Structure 1
Amino acid sequence: MKTVFYTLLCSLILLPCTCVSAQNTATKKTPTIEAKIAGMDKKDGYFDFYWDDDAGKIYLEIDRFDEEFLYVNSLAAGLGSNDIGLDRNQLGNTRVVYFDRVGPQVMLRQRNLGYRAISDNPDEVASVRDAFAQSTLAGFKVAAKTGDRVLVDLTPMLLTDAHGVISRLKRNKQGSYKIDASRSAVYLPKTKNFPKNSEFEASITFAGEATGRQLRSVTPTSGAFTLRMHHSFVELPDDNYTPRAFDPRSGYNARSYADYATPIDQPLVKRFIPRHRLEKKDPSAAMSEPVEPIIYYLDRGAPEPVKSALLEGARWWNQAYEAAGYKNAFQVEVLPEGADPMDVRYNVINWVHRSTRGWSYGSSVTDPRTGEIIKGHVLLGSLRVRQDFLLAQGLIKAYGKDGTTPDPRLEEMALARLRQLSAHEVGHTIGLAHNFAASTNNRASVMDYPHPYITLKDGEVDFSQAYAVGIGEWDKQTIKYGYSDFPEGADEAAELQKILAENQAKGLRYISDSDARPQGSSQPDAHLWDNGESPIVEMNRLLALRKHALDNFSEANIPVGMPLSELESVFVPVYLMHRYQVEAVAKMIGGYHYDYGVRGEQVSPRVRPVSIEEQKAATQALLMTLSPSTLGFNGKLSGLIPPPAMGYSRNRELFSTQNGGGFDPLAMAQSAADNTFTFLLHPHRLARIAEQAALGPLGGYPSLEDYLETIRIEVNRNVRKNTTNRFPLELAMMVDKRFVAHLIQLAANKDISERVRSVAFSKLRQMLGPLSNANNLTPIEVHDHYLSVTINQFLTDPRSVEISPAPKLPDGSPIGCGGFH
């Protein structure tokens, strides 16, 4: 009875409390914006937002739903490692987004602009929109509302890894990290508001365990490091911009989308070029001021004399805009004091520091709908200027006068390269692609990768033509194509075709990345880091300059007081001076001349093989780089350069060694020889040699068997003719071993042409010599015995032979002989 009584009593007591709680929940209302923001710091602008200092939060006021705008994320403060690729002021993604409210939730959704229907039929537009996935980038809970306006807490979005740092580190095997919210916060100094853009920044701490040397080398404590993420909400441009059609001959990058409303007899994919909006005040005038000029701003952190060189190089582009009929349309100034380089209102040239030298970049914030460039954004690596200084340092007695003051020509050449680099990267931000054929056209474009054109005059090194000055003829034509403002009534398509016809009439060649970069490329007119119309002539010239520099290399190449071991870092670029020209010459072998022609042009044939005579000359030029006379050098150098001094160490700028860490002439010669074989015997090149022989008449182009035999004869001749001098003999035998190693790799490669594999097998069988059982063999007999054993073992059981790689070359691009990508 007591149990029943107490249960009833508790029920009566608790019931009213439960009812009151439910009533309070039902009557609880979302606060008004005015009540929520009381005491907060308001920032008026594109999207009004409020700073809650007590909570450390940013509240965003949203009064425009379903209205598109640009969302751009970027990295304001970086990691400082070129290898990892997380640089200060690095742009991230550009997206067209909009806010969508669903009850108490607000979604930030991204349009899928890769697939569209440009149509007046809303149902057709909707059918395409609904056929492809959209993305929802963030979701928010309404924190306050007044009428149609809502307030959301933006802070969680700002404190995410918007730039993909965690995945980048994992991909580069640098470690496993997570965001530590307790050590992350809004970064107020760079959180600002403007009429057409709202800028937010956050300081993000990543905690975890480093597994890679690169990360550890640039962080004070690798277990926790802090970067800054920047977020921009930007008003989209108005509808008064007209996209310009892309043409593969124009020299521009392409933007594209699939238009499913296109008639069936027209291409589905629409292509247009990226470019800034530029209009003449008077389109009918041959020369007119622009309605609004394009202005770029240089990073205030760039020191002199670098700053002046960068300004001068970037300003060269005004020459091209003048050629297109504009007066003072392209301007470059120093960034105003207090201005934020991440602010989308500024086109910026950033001076970026890294722990190692590396690539520079020209990117942009571009309206994905039209290709209109809203912000040009250049990143220039600060250490590259030192590499040009180093390239020049090895060519002359750089510190020959007093031992401490460098020859002024070193800095002059380095600054000349900076002017060219500034112009090159700005060129990308105004829409232009690389033109790697410009070096064969009398340096017709700054959009090529230039190797310094250093000459010998009367036995003296001349730097006066190292880098070209000013915008090239090709660059002027590309700006005409992209930026000409044609008079009212003009047929734009016809006018653009006239410009392309002018290019052809002027003999301006254009070949870009996809045809110039591959090791096995067939295009002999396009290469990176080369000079001259004839790769063979340039190779011979470079080898002569290289020999002069090696013969005169001495202590005077470094300043007094520097450890002599540091001579090796100056020596490397000299020894590998011909490195990139090797690749340029190789492209002539099995090569084809072609361009990006279209139907209707009166050019025939469009594709033609490099002549037999040129291919034979190219082969001989590359075989010269395998000779002991090229791979060797003055013997005094090996006695001049000691192993790294105390406090110094071997690094990626130096050759890999096989002697325990000292200066290793045989290992570096092996690296250089292997580089030549990589291009001489590239599987794609060999397949084209066989192809050209098959397509031509008998007795025409040499067969693949003949080509490999030419190489074998020359390599073997070098062994047989150097029996009295041991160093050249060692070099020749090393080259012979690498030739066999490459043939074995070809014969074992199941992913290449069977024709190439079969000929490689045949050549190995032909080279198989008798096995010797004699004692007291000569060095050449020992060499022959080793090759015979290796070949016989491979032919008997291909899987039993593992080819040792040659010592790795110092990393190559972006410039010189040791760089990092």
Structure 2
Amino acid sequence: MKKILLFSLAATFLSAQSISAQKKKKSKKGKTEQVAPAQKTKKGDIKNYSQVVTKDAITDEGLFKAHKVDKKFLYEIPFDKLDKDMLWVTRIAQIPTGLGGGYMNAGSKTNEQMVHWVRFQDKILLKVKSYNNIADSTKAISASVRVNNYEPTLFAFDIEAFSTDSTSVVIDVTNLFSTDVPAISGLSSRLRKTYKVKRLDPQRSFINSVKSFPENIEVKQDFTYSASEPSTLRSTESISLQMNQSMILLPEQPMQPRIFDPRVGFFTVSQFDFGSDELKADEKTYIRRWRLEPKDPAAYARGELVEPVKPIVYYLDPGTPENLKEYIKQGIEDWQKPFETAGFKNAIIARDAPTPEEDPEFSPEDIRYSMIRYVASTTRNAVGPSVSDPRSGEIIESDIIWYHNHLRSYRNRYLLETGAANPSARTLKTEPKEIGDMMRMVIAHEVGHALGFPHNMAASYAYPVDSLRNGEFTQKNGIAASIMDYARYNYIAQPGDKGIRFIRQMGPYDHYVTNWGYRYLTANSPEAEVATLNKWVLEKANDPIYKFGKQSSSFDPQSQTEGLGDDPVKASTYGVKNLKYVAKNLSSWTSDQTNNYDDLEELYGELLSVYSRYTGHVVTNIGGVFENLKTPEQKGSVYTPLSKAKQKESMQWLQDNVFSTQSWLVDNNILQNIDYAGYPENLRKVQARHLGSLLNADRIGRLLDAETTSKTYYSALEMLTDLRKGIWKEAYTGRNADIYRRNIQRTYIERMEALLTAENGRRSSFDVATSDVSSLVRGELKTLRSKLKLAKNGNVNTITRYHYEDAIAKIDQALDPK
């Protein structure tokens, strides 16, 4: 499935702009398309073929013949393609700035659905087909599944004509692709409401191109909507975007699925099997993976490395800068070693795209070709999407998208996170080979997604923190157990550490998960594989380098985005120590070299973000619960609260390294050269973010849970008491509060008031209204108010006294809003 046209290939397929200028089109075999002879009209409005597909028609051969006649677009559907399973994927090809609030970009998928074309009398229906609910067709219940899951009709078409040999039917698809059909639109109901979309403007909307390939048809639409509040250029009151519709023929025989195990990380597809012997509709979840089968099954069974029947091949966008091609290819083929662990050699291959002279029929939009797209965009990102068969999880194709400006993000992070211990990172002009190595690892990471692997956030927790200061260890093992973690750089290593690897690399988990998902098994059903797959998991179950941790976890200290090492407190201590060194030298590495402050401003903002990430890792410890997925045959509990000692240590770390004034972050040599105001606010925003995270109802709820599961626990009361005494330390010690402390203290009262007045809706884990939260908060505010009444009369300066009086008034208001 192809979404974004990056190639500068000759225009060999029809487009709305060029197609009308042609009179005839040569077929892909080089023969001129002949106009079909006339036939008699058989019934109603059905016309002769020659009346519909006229001599002026421009035709593209492929899955269906796609004709353009004047302003009409026609599909000629072979009868043997009716009732065939097809996947319809809707993606944004081009998008206006800011649409979706930064969470959408060119290439974003907006819908994916299975469809099939059905004849009903003199109409052809495009029906949406679901594989969510299934049953074996030989079982009686399959009839009930069918009638209780009636397929919606996406669009209905009159039959315009039959082919001269009566093997296909012609329909007009112009209205399908030129009107606002919600199921294939790029604007969800939420976006329409946000931007106050009124309607699709037909005068500014048109079909850009229709291209037919052997296994897919690609349609590009240019849509303009009237909208009162568009995301950009508001005076236009318009939203324009280009959509790409991909219709893909699925394999006649689905691949044998492999049953998902949550202890191993894979993207999945799910179905409910009503024909199961279970006393319910049995949910079956399968992993998403490419179909790899050995060319020589006997040799494979003997343990020899064997090439697959059909290897995974990625082609490089011809627009890729020459100096980066080597690293992109290496990133793709880094997965060859894990596939060798699974018994396959040359399972994944990188190639340059053929030139038009080498292969005039090659197109990046042809589903048969997977691409590494290089996008000339200021977006700082890379993505690795794929298209899979919802019946089996088989990955059909993928396009990995690299946005040009993404390397700047990596250069900046390299400087900020490793600059203290890594002299080569202390520059804006990073060595090309180091930039190439970074890109290689990002490509390997995105290829991993395209192979079916989600992020494994536990991989960075697998190694002891101090091992990342050991050159020999890091060179051999990298900085995390998997390339699929967000462990980009070694921010643990300290100045003077020798031989350190600073950039991530493939790890042992990548070999393990590839073998688990891709090793070819001769079992005759998915269920017959389960015993072998479970055995492989149990063999590795007690080794942290083979643990999978979900990215979605907000409570597990083992599974944190951007973390390193098995102790967040220790790791963040090293990280902050390095950041202090970088902050001290940031001007000399940037503005002193460029004679302007642009890079200094950019990097200072990103330094605050890095510091905030290190802080967040420690915050997760408080109320932290380890999640170790296991089956009943394995010993121990799945969920275990973090020890009281480690939680108290974390609270003290936050008081010392976050909530106390961090003067190193408010260096006037930086701030007074990049902004005219708002200096205290830079620090307050970071502090407020993490204070709010601590004073989160779910976190307090987990601390309350610990009272029922542990004899020694860090209670919610103890956490709130420690927090109060730390945030208001000046009131307890008789000292003056500086502006930074006054800011965080006011923020504390705001957050506590928010907890006190929280709505009585359910949170994810407990009911706030009936919990101890309000009583704990009320008690803490009353205790604080009493302390402040004493402190304001102590030996403090005027601004501190005013601040305490104001705080007392705010607490009174919070406790008694009336």
TM class by smaller structure? 0.7 to 0.9
Amino acid at match of 1:474: Y
Given the alignment, which residue of 98, 107, 111 partners 2:129?
A: 111
- Corresponding residue of 2:25: none
- In structure 2, distance between residues paired with 1:639 and 1:167: 42
- Change in Cα spacing, 1:279 to 1:209, as seen in structure 2 (3 Å) is same
Q: Following superposition of structure 1 onto structure 2, how do residues 652-801 of structure 1 map, counting pairs within 5 Å?
A: 662-697=676-711, 700-718=712-730, 723=735, 729-751=738-760, 752=768, 754-769=771-786, 770=789, 778-797=798-817
SS in structure 2 of the partner of residue 431 of structure 1: coil
More off after superposition, 535-544 vs 737-746? 737-746
Amino acid at match of 1:604: G
- Change in Cα spacing, 1:223 to 1:341, as seen in structure 2 (3 Å) is farther
Given the alignment, which residue of 142, 159, 177 partners 2:178?
A: 159
- Corresponding residue of 1:496: 533
CA deviation profile, 1:139-174 (whole Å, cap 9, x unmatched): 111111254632111222222456423437834733
Residues 436 and 510 of structure 1 are in contact (CA less than 8 Å); yes or no, is this contact kept in structure 2?
A: no
Q: Per-residue deviation at 1:113?
A: 1.3
- Corresponding residue of 1:348: 371
Amino acid at match of 1:674: A
- Corresponding residue of 2:71: 55
Is 2:214 the counterpart of 1:195? yes
- Change in Cα spacing, 1:231 to 1:693, as seen in structure 2 (3 Å) is closer
- Corresponding residue of 1:482: 517
SS in structure 2 of the partner of residue 768 of structure 1: helix
- Corresponding residue of 2:58: 41
More off after superposition, 669-678 vs 581-590? 581-590
Is 2:431 the counterpart of 1:371? no
More off after superposition, 367-376 vs 227-236? 227-236
More off after superposition, 439-448 vs 55-64? 55-64
Q: Per-residue deviation at 1:456?
A: 5.6
Q: Per-residue deviation at 1:631?
A: 5.1
Amino acid at match of 2:636: S
Q: Per-residue deviation at 1:446?
A: 1.5
- Change in Cα spacing, 1:158 to 1:60, as seen in structure 2 (3 Å) is farther
Amino acid at match of 2:579: R
- Corresponding residue of 1:624: 656
- Corresponding residue of 1:102: 120
CA deviation profile, 1:12-71 (whole Å, cap 9, x unmatched): xxxxxxxxxxxxx9997632224432302333322123221x334334344233333333
SS in structure 2 of the partner of residue 118 of structure 1: coil
CA deviation profile, 1:779-798 (whole Å, cap 9, x unmatched): 2212211111111222222x
- Corresponding residue of 2:622: 589
Q: Which has the larger radius of gyration?
A: 1
Residues 205 and 224 of structure 1 are in contact (CA less than 8 Å); yes or no, is this contact kept in structure 2?
A: no
Residues 288 and 393 of structure 2 are in contact (CA less than 8 Å); yes or no, is this contact kept in structure 1?
A: yes
Given the alignment, which residue of 107, 112, 120 partners 2:138?
A: 120
- In structure 1, distance between residues paired with 2:192 and 2:102: 9
Residues 245 and 272 of structure 1 are in contact (CA less than 8 Å); yes or no, is this contact kept in structure 2?
A: yes
Q: Can you give the 5+ residue segments of structure 1 that lack an aligned partner in the other structure?
A: 1-24, 644-661, 801-821
More off after superposition, 174-183 vs 740-749? 174-183
- Change in Cα spacing, 1:717 to 1:679, as seen in structure 2 (3 Å) is same
SS in structure 2 of the partner of residue 502 of structure 1: helix
Given the alignment, which residue of 259, 272, 278 partners 2:292?
A: 278
SS in structure 2 of the partner of residue 215 of structure 1: coil
Residues 201 and 228 of structure 1 are in contact (CA less than 8 Å); yes or no, is this contact kept in structure 2?
A: no
Amino acid at match of 1:316: D
Is 2:152 the counterpart of 1:129? no
Q: Per-residue deviation at 1:758?
A: 0.8
Amino acid at match of 2:503: Y
Residues 246 and 271 of structure 1 are in contact (CA less than 8 Å); yes or no, is this contact kept in structure 2?
A: yes
Amino acid at match of 2:559: A
Amino acid at match of 2:641: P
- In structure 2, distance between residues paired with 1:430 and 1:297: 15
Is 2:224 the counterpart of 1:206? yes
SS in structure 2 of the partner of residue 749 of structure 1: coil
- In structure 2, distance between residues paired with 1:706 and 1:488: 55
- Corresponding residue of 1:816: none
- Change in Cα spacing, 1:341 to 1:26, as seen in structure 2 (3 Å) is closer
Given the alignment, which residue of 417, 439, 452 partners 1:418?
A: 439
TM-score relative to the length of structure 1: 0.81
SS in structure 1 of the partner of residue 115 of structure 2: strand
- Corresponding residue of 1:66: 83
- Change in Cα spacing, 1:98 to 1:626, as seen in structure 2 (3 Å) is closer
Number of matched residues? 730
Residues 81 and 356 of structure 1 are in contact (CA less than 8 Å); yes or no, is this contact kept in structure 2?
A: no
- In structure 1, distance between residues paired with 2:42 and 2:401: 56
Residues 108 and 136 of structure 1 are in contact (CA less than 8 Å); yes or no, is this contact kept in structure 2?
A: yes
- Corresponding residue of 1:231: 245
CA deviation profile, 1:356-391 (whole Å, cap 9, x unmatched): 43x543222211111111112323333322122223
Is 2:168 the counterpart of 1:149? yes
- Change in Cα spacing, 1:182 to 1:709, as seen in structure 2 (3 Å) is closer
Residues 69 and 96 of structure 1 are in contact (CA less than 8 Å); yes or no, is this contact kept in structure 2?
A: yes
Q: Per-residue deviation at 1:685?
A: 1.5
Amino acid at match of 1:685: R
- In structure 1, distance between residues paired with 2:324 and 2:700: 46
- Corresponding residue of 2:504: 468
Given the alignment, which residue of 399, 407, 413 partners 1:391?
A: 413
Q: Per-residue deviation at 1:324?
A: 0.8
- In structure 1, distance between residues paired with 2:743 and 2:529: 61
- Corresponding residue of 2:313: 295
Amino acid at match of 1:468: R
Amino acid at match of 1:153: D
Amino acid at match of 2:725: I
- In structure 2, distance between residues paired with 1:309 and 1:296: 14
Q: Per-residue deviation at 1:765?
A: 0.5
Residues 46 and 194 of structure 1 are in contact (CA less than 8 Å); yes or no, is this contact kept in structure 2?
A: yes
SS in structure 2 of the partner of residue 409 of structure 1: coil
SS in structure 1 of the partner of residue 604 of structure 2: helix
- Change in Cα spacing, 1:568 to 1:721, as seen in structure 2 (3 Å) is farther
More off after superposition, 388-397 vs 95-104? 388-397
- Corresponding residue of 2:490: 453
Q: Can you give the 5+ residue segments of structure 2 that lack an aligned partner in the other structure?
A: 1-40, 357-361, 464-479, 761-767
More off after superposition, 765-774 vs 433-442? 765-774
Give me the CA root mean square deviation: 3.4
Amino acid at match of 1:377: D
Residues 397 and 553 of structure 1 are in contact (CA less than 8 Å); yes or no, is this contact kept in structure 2?
A: no
Residues 419 and 582 of structure 2 are in contact (CA less than 8 Å); yes or no, is this contact kept in structure 1?
A: no
- Change in Cα spacing, 1:544 to 1:33, as seen in structure 2 (3 Å) is same
- Corresponding residue of 1:564: 597
Residues 687 and 744 of structure 2 are in contact (CA less than 8 Å); yes or no, is this contact kept in structure 1?
A: yes
Q: Per-residue deviation at 1:133?
A: 3.3
Identity among equivalent positions (%) equals 23
CA deviation profile, 1:445-487 (whole Å, cap 9, x unmatched): 1111124223564479x99633212x22111111111110135
- In structure 2, distance between residues paired with 1:627 and 1:668: 13
- Change in Cα spacing, 1:175 to 1:729, as seen in structure 2 (3 Å) is same
- Change in Cα spacing, 1:561 to 1:632, as seen in structure 2 (3 Å) is closer
Residues 186 and 243 of structure 2 are in contact (CA less than 8 Å); yes or no, is this contact kept in structure 1?
A: no
